[in-house]
């Protein structure tokens, strides 16, 4: 997030797109609702699904799935043609405006209506609302990123914010909401194929030299491959061994049958986790780890705030914290790691990751600190890009709309969108073992619009079969207006209804994110 969580409650306008925040980040959802109900903020929701936030919205734009770039270009078209853009800000702090202006010219409200189904008048109303707000916060999540045009979608959000001078100010910015406790931290720590901790490029000689000196080994400058590229690399024989810590790709990754084939082909698969999950069942070695309540350490939340976790109970049996397991394995392999506590590891991070340099355990004992925090006397950074963008001038990206990779046709006439529900988390390994949440949401349901239900002879609560080119699953239907006509929604929490058997592994060329929000699907009563 460029802003802090707290700022959401006190901004003038919130534009929530591709984020079902009341279910996926409920405490942030409450802040959005408080902003509206108690502090008079305006709320624009852009989402194909009738999510709870639509009840609180001043205006809800229900676009066809995957048409986000067109919609945002349309908003910008109206803002520019009505002169609502922030001319001074654009001139002083950004570049590339002319190119942007040229591209969005053709995205008139009428043209955007053709693509997205959003009435031209509604688009205009929303554009005027956003364009005239003093400070506006854009919130987005996987509904924006999980598309083959995910990177374009994200850049479009940034374009819109900069166009109105809504970036680098209190309450104004672009705020991706992270779905998992430490996605932010995993990225910050360099669990990415192209960067060391704090986004320092592996390809840079200078950076590599620094890490070579600190770690006492020579390092590779060849960028690695992403999670989503691994299955093909295994099938092609390039990758022979895989070490998986605390993840469950056998439910979370696209096109599971293909992935299973790949995992079975490996010479060795090591899985380190708290439960024997679907991936662990295919492993050659399984290592038992301690869970969050059984160890010390830090998580970085979605607003970049680094916060402590503390050991409250003992781990069961021989299970150990992941940091201990990694250290012991490294030592066994001839590279000594002899950390006696997580605090010692953080000291090393302070040395090597400039944005974490000032974040010590002592300082975050009471309250976490949001990075960048370059020194121990720095208070941390509440919102990014104040006065100046990280790269200097903010860059507009002129982007054209590209349709999703797989669209409905005669054989697969509907769209399948996937996501989460309030009561469960990711692949369900934890929440499905929790009594309360499972009582409230005991089984996977396929959400389907009443009109589609009628068309395909499907009854509420009755079993249906859902199939794509890649596979099929069965589950009970929930007939509801939450799903727009022509689109069904399935969550990915339940192994019995492993929706990722169905999803399209087509990737965004830059972000390498699979298109979970749109693929073509067929349904029938089962």
Q: Which residues bind ligand SF4 (CB under 6 A)?
A: 25-27
Binding mask 307-346 for another protein (x = CB under 8 A): xxxxxxxx-xxxxxxxx--xxxxx-xxxx-x-x--x--xx
Q: Where are the beta strands (DSSP E) in 161-278?
A: 173-176, 195-196, 200-201, 241-245, 268-273
Q: Which two three-digit tokens encode residue 373?
A: 């925090």
Question: What's the closest the beta carbon of residue 217 comes to another protein, in angstroms?
Answer: 5
- Residue 398, contacted partner among ligand SF4, another protein, none, CB below 5-8 A by kind: none
Binding mask 49-68 for another protein (x = CB under 8 A): -------x------------
- Residue 267, contacted partner among another protein, ligand SF4, none, CB below 5-8 A by kind: another protein
Q: Which two three-digit tokens encode residue 249?
A: 């790709």
Distances (CA, A) of 478 to 96, 234, 460, 481, 482: 47, 38, 5, 10, 10
Q: Which residue number, 226 or 307, has a Cβ lying nearer to ligand SF4?
A: 307
For residues 171 and 7, what is the distance between their CA atoms, to the nearest angstrom? 5
Question: What's the closest the beta carbon of residue 505 comes to another protein, in angstroms?
Answer: 11
Question: What's the closest the beta carbon of residue 118 comes to another protein, in angstroms?
Answer: 27
- Residue 240, contacted partner among ligand SF4, another protein, none, CB below 5-8 A by kind: another protein
Give 268-271 contacts, CB < 8 A, sequence gap 24+: 268/240, 268/241, 268/242, 269/241, 269/242, 269/244, 270/241, 270/242, 270/243, 270/244, 271/244
Residues 108-147 that bind another protein (CB under 8 A): 145-146
- Residue 273, contacted partner among another protein, ligand SF4, none, CB below 5-8 A by kind: another protein
Q: Which residue number, 152 or 452, has a Cβ lying nearer to another protein?
A: 152
Contacting range for another protein; rule: CB under 8 A; set: 62-70, 156-164, 298-306, 402-410: 298-306
Q: Is 434 in the site for another protein (CB under 8 A)?
A: yes
Q: What's the chain's length in residues?
A: 526
Question: What's the closest the beta carbon of residue 312 comes to ligand SF4, in angstroms?
Answer: 15
Question: What's the closest the beta carbon of residue 418 comes to another protein, in angstroms?
Answer: 10
Report the chain's terminal Cα–Cα distance, integer Å.
43
For residues 376 and 362, what is the distance between their CA atoms, to the nearest angstrom? 10
Residues facing 196 on adjacent strands: 200
Binding mask 369-408 for another protein (x = CB under 8 A): ----------------------------------------
Closest-CB residue for ligand SF4?
Answer: 27
For residues 351 and 297, what is the distance between their CA atoms, to the nearest angstrom? 17
Give the residue from 491, 489, 514 showing the smallest Cα distance to 503: 514
How big is the CA angle at 324 (ends 322 and 329), to the nearest 5 degrees?
95
Question: What's the closest the beta carbon of residue 140 comes to ligand SF4, in angstroms?
Answer: 17
Q: Is 219 in the site for another protein (CB under 8 A)?
A: yes
Give the residue from 302, 326, 180 showing the smallest Cα distance to 252: 180
Q: Which of 260, 303, 406, 452 binds another protein (CB under 8 A)?
A: 303
R_g of the chain computed on alpha carbons? 24
DSSP code string of 459-479: -TTSEEEEE-SS-EEEEEEEE
Question: What's the closest the beta carbon of residue 409 comes to ligand SF4, in angstroms?
Answer: 39
Residues 178-217 that bind another protein (CB under 8 A): 178-194, 196-197, 202, 211, 215-217
């Amino acid at each position: 997030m460029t802003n802090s969580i707290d700022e959401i409650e006190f901004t003038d306008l919130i534009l929530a797109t591709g984020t079902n925040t009341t279910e996926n980040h409920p405490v942030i959802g409450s802040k959005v609702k408080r902003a509206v109900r108690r502090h008079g903020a305006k709320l624009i929701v852009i989402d194909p699904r009738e999510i709870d936030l639509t009840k609180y919205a001043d205006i809800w734009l229900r676009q066809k799935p995957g048409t986000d770039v067109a919609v945002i270009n349309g908003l910008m078209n109206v803002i520019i043609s009505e002169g609502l853009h922030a001319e001074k800000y654009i001139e002083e702090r950004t570049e590339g405006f002319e190119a942007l202006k040229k591209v969005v010219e053709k995205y008139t409200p009428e043209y955007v209506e053709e693509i997205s189904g959003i009435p031209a008048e509604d688009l205009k109303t929303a554009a005027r609302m956003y364009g005239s707000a003093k400070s506006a916060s854009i919130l987005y999540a996987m509904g924006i990123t999980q598309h083959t045009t995910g990177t374009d979608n994200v850049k479009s959000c940034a374009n819109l914010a900069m166009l109105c001078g809504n970036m680098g100010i209190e309450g104004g910015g672009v705020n991706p909401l992270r779905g998992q406790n430490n996605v932010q931290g995993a990225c910050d720590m360099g669990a990415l194929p192209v960067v060391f901790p704090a986004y320092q490029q592996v390809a840079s000689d200078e950076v590599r030299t620094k890490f070579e000196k600190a770690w006492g080994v020579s390092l590779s400058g060849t960028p690695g491959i992403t999670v989503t590229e691994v299955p093909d690399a295994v099938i092609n024989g390039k990758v022979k061994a895989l070490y998986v810590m605390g993840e469950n790709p056998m439910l979370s990754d696209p096109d599971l049958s293909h992935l299973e084939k790949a995992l079975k082909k490996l010479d060795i698969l090591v899985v380190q986790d708290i439960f024997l999950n679907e991936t662990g069942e295919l492993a050659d070695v399984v290592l038992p780890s301690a869970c969050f309540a059984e160890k010390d350490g830090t998580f970085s939340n979605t607003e970049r705030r680094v916060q402590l976790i503390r050991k409250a109970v003992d781990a069961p049996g021989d299970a150990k914290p992941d940091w201990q397991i990694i250290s012991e394995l490294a030592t066994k392999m001839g590279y000594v790691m002899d950390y006696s506590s997580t605090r010692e590891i953080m000291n090393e991070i302070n040395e090597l990751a400039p944005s974490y340099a000032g974040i010590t355990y002592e300082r975050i004992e009471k309250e976490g600190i949001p990075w960048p925090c370059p020194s121990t006397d720095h208070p941390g950074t509440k919102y990014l890009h104040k006065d100046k963008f990280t790269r200097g001038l903010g860059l507009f990206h002129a982007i054209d709309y590209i349709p999703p990779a797989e669209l409905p046709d005669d054989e697969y006439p509907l769209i399948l969108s996937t996501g989460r529900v309030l009561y469960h988390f990711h692949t369900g390994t934890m929440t499905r073992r929790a009594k309360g949440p499972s009582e409230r949401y005991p089984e996977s349901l396929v959400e389907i619009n009443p009109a589609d239900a009628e068309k395909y002879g499907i009854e509420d609560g009755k079993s249906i079969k859902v199939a794509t080119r890649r596979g099929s699953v069965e589950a009970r239907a929930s007939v509801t207006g939450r799903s727009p006509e022509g689109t069904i929604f399935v969550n990915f929490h339940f192994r019995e209804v492993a929706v990722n058997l169905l999803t399209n592994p087509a990737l965004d060329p830059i972000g390498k994110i699979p298109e979970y929000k749109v693929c073509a699907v067929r349904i029938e009563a089962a």
